[in-house]
């Protein structure tokens, strides 16, 4: 212990230049002109190993092991040894084995380039907790020693060194290892080394010295991280949707509804192909603490293959779809539009590193810049040609700018590799199936109504649907990516239940209020945005906004399933939705046209809400009563919002005299007090309920930070 304390003092007062940190080609950090070192941290505890030979250390907090993880990463011999242990000992046994493997790949600098199941580190004696060095011969042409350390309860730790293990000899201090609670560790040099390492999932991007005096709580930290990330993500999407709206206003003033109907039919197929072929490339990257360069190369290669598949499929389907929709212009339009998803597929895979640390600022910047550029291009083309091609050119311009910006903000040199394609097996198998069915669910109404309706009427429906999607796409969708990181950081079912209720209520609280407002003020909103020639679309917008409400509470289901290796649940939900939607939407369209189709969509979403509640009950033990009762504050808030809007929406209607500007000012004057009344109602109900965790708590901390800290 004396040696450890002395070393800590040296680190604290050493000159800053002594601790200049760099990285090898494989990403292993090292000190210039300094000793070999390895750093690991988990849930408030840190370990630092220093030696004059290669060294690696890993510490992990014991927590429930997700199904299939042991079979994926452990060797056959290790699985036999693990399964031979009593059931209660298998959790800590897995993490003793895992820390040994992590320590070895850190020491060698190979990270994940050597498959973790290619070597054995666990023996029965290791699982039982004996401090017996284990020899790891030959994987790198050298001998390695692995030593178990027991520094705290439920925190197994392992140290790997090349050659003889000095720490195994009593009295030797050649290898220095210490473990301190992060909250009391403040030396500047240690903070610098910490910051130079990659931030793992679940750890908020703040220095150790700034952590609270409470034990580190990964789910809580993840919740704060996703809140801040969500603000940036939502802010970026909201800003981009504002420019989308500006583009739409310009186009509707120049083009006819039939032009929008034609492009909407073409985009139906383009979106179908893009979503069906989509693979969440960043998910396997986020699952791994320190991804290797070859993992990024694999992600890029898979994206490149996907881009080629997209182009071939869209071009191949162009002629049959022209016949189906009875319009020969669709073929050339689809050829051009195929460039959009192909370019979007080839963005830099290193954008995932921003998601890992809950930094959504680059994505927000990309969204805004691409939309501004598209707005300028669309305006020029629309004025010059007065053709539907202005919409198509704007679509491709957006994705081109996104692609270029991704490589500027997240530099990456493209290389072809499929070395780690197996890391995508779980994601691709279930997610590809689920996305194929989900794409059909999203576009089924367009496929049915596009053939039944003419371009003019279908264009009006498409515009109403596009306006309805703006709040959902701008507020709900951006949260799904940081949700994956937050759910991945959860350590047990209790944390997952808390996260689910918080995020489910948060989406309903925010997006639901916008949709209710949009539904009641639909006619005036369309008049202001699109002009009097489009007001026939208002009843479509009202119905679509109300039909979307049941879908809001289950937005976190996909992130939850992917992050917890339950992707099959998403596929099952979407399969059921598809099986319900096909007969329901066809029957609705045949019986009542557009409104019948929208009603069928609402009924299907209600069925999916019930299904998701059953899934949460079986997977996490979350009672149905608790799930549905958690929405009562938002639902009563919606009732208050509806009452206020209905009372005030005709106020001053006779004074606008058909002016779009005056009508817009009147809508703002009506909406602001109504939404404030909604927020006030929800906050009052939240206080009555005892101030539980949820969106109101987050909002209250922003309004009264001093009260939240008290």
**CA angle 71-432-476, nearest 5°?**
105
> pLDDT value at position 9?
32
Query: What does the block give as tokens for 528?
Result: 């202001």
> pLDDT value at position 610?
94
What's the count of helices (H) and strands (E) in the chain, helices before strands?
A: 29, 9
Instruction: Give 139's contacts (C-beta < 8 A, 6+ positions apart).
Output: 108, 114, 118, 119
Instruction: Give 570's contacts (C-beta < 8 A, 6+ positions apart).
Output: 430, 431, 434, 557, 558, 561, 562
48's enclosing H/E stretch is: strand 45-51
Residue 514 burial by Cβ neighbours in a 10 Å radius (0-12, 13-18, 19+):
middle
Instruction: Round to whole Å and give the CA distance between 21 and 670.
Output: 57
Query: What does the block give as tokens for 377?
Result: 């291009």
pLDDT higher than threshold 50 for residue 356: yes
CA distances from 687 to 80, 128, 395 (A): 53, 50, 46
513's enclosing H/E stretch is: helix 493-520
pLDDT higher than threshold 60 for residue 481: yes
For residue 698, name the pLDDT band (cuts at 50, 70, 90).
Answer: confident
For residue 185, name the pLDDT band (cuts at 50, 70, 90).
Answer: very low
Between residues 570 and 262, the one the model is more confident about: 262
| DSSP type of residue 57 | E
Which range among 245-249, 453-457, 487-491 shows the weakest confidence by mean pLDDT? 487-491
Which range among 12-21, 76-85, 466-475, 646-655 shows the weakest confidence by mean pLDDT? 12-21
Instruction: Give 530's contacts (C-beta < 8 A, 6+ positions apart).
Output: 248, 249, 252, 463, 537
> pLDDT value at position 196?
32
Instruction: Round to whole Å and give the CA distance between 461 and 453.
Output: 10
Most confident of 272-281, 320-329, 532-541, 649-658: 532-541
> pLDDT value at position 22?
64
> pLDDT value at position 217?
36
Give the chain's mean pLDDT. 75
Q: Are 144 and 165 in contact (CB under 8 A)?
A: no
Nearest one of 259, 231, 189, 316 to 533, comparing CA atoms: 259
Nearest one of 104, 64, 206, 217 to 619, comparing CA atoms: 64
pLDDT higher than threshold 50 for residue 168: no
Alpha-carbon dihedral sign for residues 63, 68, 71, 72? negative
Q: Are 402 and 370 in contact (CB under 8 A)?
A: yes
Rounded mean pLDDT, 357-377: 82
Between residues 117 and 530, the one the model is more confident about: 530
> pLDDT value at position 117?
65
pLDDT higher than threshold 80 for residue 663: yes
CA distances from 396 to 85, 336, 375, 465, 588 (A): 58, 8, 12, 21, 34
C-alpha 653, offset from chain centre:
43
Query: What does the block give as tokens for 259?
Result: 């032009």
> pLDDT value at position 673?
93
> pLDDT value at position 147?
79
Secondary structure class of 573 (helix, strand, coil) = helix
> pLDDT value at position 552?
93
pLDDT higher than threshold 70 for residue 190: no
Nearest one of 527, 519, 529 to 658, comparing CA atoms: 527
Q: To the nearest whole percent, how much of the chain has pLDDT over 90?
A: 15
pLDDT higher than threshold 80 for residue 302: yes
3-state helix, strand, coil in the chain (%, to 5): 70, 5, 25
Nearest one of 280, 324, 336, 345 to 558, comparing CA atoms: 280
Instruction: Give 170's contacts (C-beta < 8 A, 6+ positions apart).
Output: none
Residue with structure tokens 């500027």?
A: 408
**Which domains are seen in the chain, by residue range?**
2-6+24-197 (3.90.470.20), 220-630 (no CATH), 631-710 (no CATH)
CA distances from 83 to 2, 129, 532, 568, 659 (A): 40, 16, 71, 25, 75
> pLDDT value at position 180?
46
Instruction: Round to whole Å and give the CA distance between 124 and 710.
Output: 50
Q: What is the pLDDT of residues 25-54, one digit of tens each?
A: 556 677 666 678 888 877 667 788 887 778
Listed as own residue / partner, the contacts of 645-653 with beta carbons closer than 8 Å and 24 or more positions apart are 645/516, 645/517, 645/520, 645/521, 645/670, 645/671, 645/674, 646/520, 648/673, 648/674, 649/520, 649/521, 649/524
Query: What does the block give as tokens for 324?
Result: 């189906």
Secondary structure class of 162 (helix, strand, coil) = strand
**SS3 sequence, 612-641?**
HHHHHHHHHCCCHHHHHHCCHHHHHHHHHH
Instruction: Round to whole Å and give the CA distance between 498 and 491.
Output: 12
Q: What is the pLDDT of residues 533-592, one digit of tens each?
A: 888 889 999 999 999 999 999 998 888 887 777 777 877 888 888 899 999 999 999 998
Helix axes 695-703, 660-688, angle to 10 degrees: 100
Residue with structure tokens 């009762």?
A: 629
| DSSP type of residue 474 | I
Neighbours of 373 (CB within 10 A): 19
Q: Are 237 and 478 in contact (CB under 8 A)?
A: yes
Instruction: Give 635's contacts (C-beta < 8 A, 6+ positions apart).
Output: none
Instruction: Round to whole Å and give the CA distance between 177 and 168.
Output: 12
Q: What is the pLDDT of residues 395-433, one digit of tens each?
A: 889 889 988 988 888 888 888 877 766 666 655 555 556
For the chain, the residue count is: 710
Which range among 258-267, 519-528, 538-547, 593-602 shows the weakest confidence by mean pLDDT? 258-267
Please provide the DSSP assignment of 135-169 as one string.
EEESTTSSEEEEEEEE-STT-EEEEEEESS-GGGS
Between residues 670 and 489, the one the model is more confident about: 670
For residue 677, name the pLDDT band (cuts at 50, 70, 90).
Answer: very high
Neighbours of 500 (CB within 10 A): 26
Instruction: Round to whole Å and give the CA distance between 79 and 218.
Output: 28
For residue 68, name the pLDDT band (cuts at 50, 70, 90).
Answer: low
350-369 in b/e burial notation, b at 16+ Cβ within 10 A? bbbbbbbbbbbebbbbbbbb
Tell me the Ramachandran region of residue 74: left when phi exceeds 0, alpha when psi lies from -120 to 50, beta otherwise. beta
> pLDDT value at position 49?
82
Alpha-carbon dihedral sign for residues 516, 519, 524, 527? positive
pLDDT higher than threshold 70 for residue 705: no
Instruction: Round to whole Å and give the CA distance between 146 and 159.
Output: 6
Instruction: Round to whole Å and give the CA distance between 144 and 157.
Output: 16
Most confident of 156-165, 198-207, 222-231, 541-550: 541-550
Phi, psi of 57 (to 5 degrees): -135, 145
Instruction: Round to whole Å and give the CA distance between 355 and 687.
Output: 33
pLDDT higher than threshold 90 for residue 636: yes
Q: What is the pLDDT of residues 426-452, one digit of tens each?
A: 555 555 566 667 777 878 888 888 888
pLDDT higher than threshold 70 for residue 195: no
């Amino acid at each position: 212990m004396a040696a450890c304390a002395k070393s800590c003092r040296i680190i604290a007062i050493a000159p800053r230049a002594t601790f200049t940190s760099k990285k090898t080609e494989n990403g292993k950090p090292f000190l210039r002109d300094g000793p070999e070192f390895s750093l690991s941290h988990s849930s408030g505890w840190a370990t630092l190993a220093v030696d004059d030979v290669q060294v690696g250390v890993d510490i992990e907090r014991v927590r429930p092991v997700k199904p299939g993880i042991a079979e994926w990463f452990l060797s056959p011999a290790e699985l036999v040894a693990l399964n031979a242990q009593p059931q209660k000992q298998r959790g800590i046994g897995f993490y003793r084995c895992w820390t040994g493997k992590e320590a070895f790949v850190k020491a060698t600098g190979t990270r994940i380039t050597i498959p973790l199941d290619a070597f054995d580190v666990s023996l029965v004696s290791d699982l039982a907790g004996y401090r017996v060095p284990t020899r790891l011969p030959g994987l790198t042409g050298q001998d390695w020693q692995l030593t178990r350390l027991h520094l705290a309860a439920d925190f197994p730790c392992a140290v790997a060194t090349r050659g003889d293990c000095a720490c195994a000899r009593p009295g030797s201090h050649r290898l220095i290892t210490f473990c301190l609670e992060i909250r009391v560790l403040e030396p500047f040099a240690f903070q610098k080394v910490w910051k130079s390492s990659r931030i793992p999932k679940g750890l908020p991007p703040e220095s150790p010295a700034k952590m609270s005096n409470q034990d580190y709580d990964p789910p809580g930290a993840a919740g704060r991280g996703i809140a801040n990330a969500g603000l940036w993500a939502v802010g970026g999407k909201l800003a981009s949707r504002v420019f989308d709206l500006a583009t739409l206003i310009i186009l509707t003033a120049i083009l006819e509804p039939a032009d929008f109907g034609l492009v909407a039919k073409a985009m139906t197929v383009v979106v179908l192909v893009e979503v069906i072929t989509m693979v969440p490339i960043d998910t396997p990257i986020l699952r791994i603490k320190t991804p290797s360069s070859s993992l990024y190369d694999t992600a890029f290669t898979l994206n490149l293959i996907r881009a080629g598949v997209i182009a071939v499929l869209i071009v191949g389907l162009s002629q049959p779809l022209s016949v189906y929709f009875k319009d020969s212009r669709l073929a050339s339009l689809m050829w051009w539009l195929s460039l959009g998803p192909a370019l979007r597929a080839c963005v830099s895979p290193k954008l995932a590193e921003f998601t890992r640390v809950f930094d959504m600022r680059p994505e927000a910047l990309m969204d805004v810049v691409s939309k501004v550029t598209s707005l300028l291009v669309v305006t020029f083309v629309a004025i010059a040609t007065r053709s539907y091609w202005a919409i198509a050119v704007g679509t491709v311009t957006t994705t081109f700018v996104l692609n270029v910006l991704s490589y500027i903000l997240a530099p990456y040199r493209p290389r072809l590799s499929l070395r780690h394609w197996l890391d995508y097996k779980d994601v691709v198998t279930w997610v590809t199936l689920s996305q194929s069915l989900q794409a059909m669910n999203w576009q089924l109404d367009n496929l049915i109504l596009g053939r039944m309706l003419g371009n003019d009427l279908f264009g009006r429906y498409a515009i109403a649907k596009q306006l309805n999607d703006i709040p959902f796409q701008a507020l709900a969708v951006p949260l799904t990516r940081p949700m994956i990181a937050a759910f991945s950081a959860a350590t047990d079912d209790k944390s997952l239940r808390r996260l689910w209720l918080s995020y489910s209520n948060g989406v309903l609280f925010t997006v639901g209020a916008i949709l209710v407002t949009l539904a009641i003020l639909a006619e005036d909103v369309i008049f202001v945005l699109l002009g009097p020639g489009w007001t026939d679309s208002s009843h479509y917008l009202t119905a679509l906004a109300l039909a979307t409400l049941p879908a809001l509470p289950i937005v976190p289901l996909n992130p939850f399933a992917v992050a917890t290796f339950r992707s099959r649940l998403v596929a099952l939900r979407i399969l059921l939705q598809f099986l319900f939607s096909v007969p329901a939407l066809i029957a609705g369209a045949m019986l009542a046209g557009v409104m019948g189709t929208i009603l069928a969509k609402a009924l299907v979403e209600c069925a999916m809400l019930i299904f998701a509640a059953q899934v949460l009950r079986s997977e996490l033990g979350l009672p149905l009563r608790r799930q549905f009762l958690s929405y009562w504050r938002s639902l009563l808030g919606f009732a208050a919002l509806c009452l206020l809007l209905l009372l005030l929406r005709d106020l001053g209607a006779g004074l606008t005299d058909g002016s779009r500007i005056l009508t817009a000012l009147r809508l703002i004057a009506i909406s602001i007090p109504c939404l404030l009344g909604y927020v006030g109602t929800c906050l009052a109900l939240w206080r009555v309920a005892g101030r539980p965790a949820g969106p109101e708590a987050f909002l209250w901390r922003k309004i009264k930070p001093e009260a939240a800290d008290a």
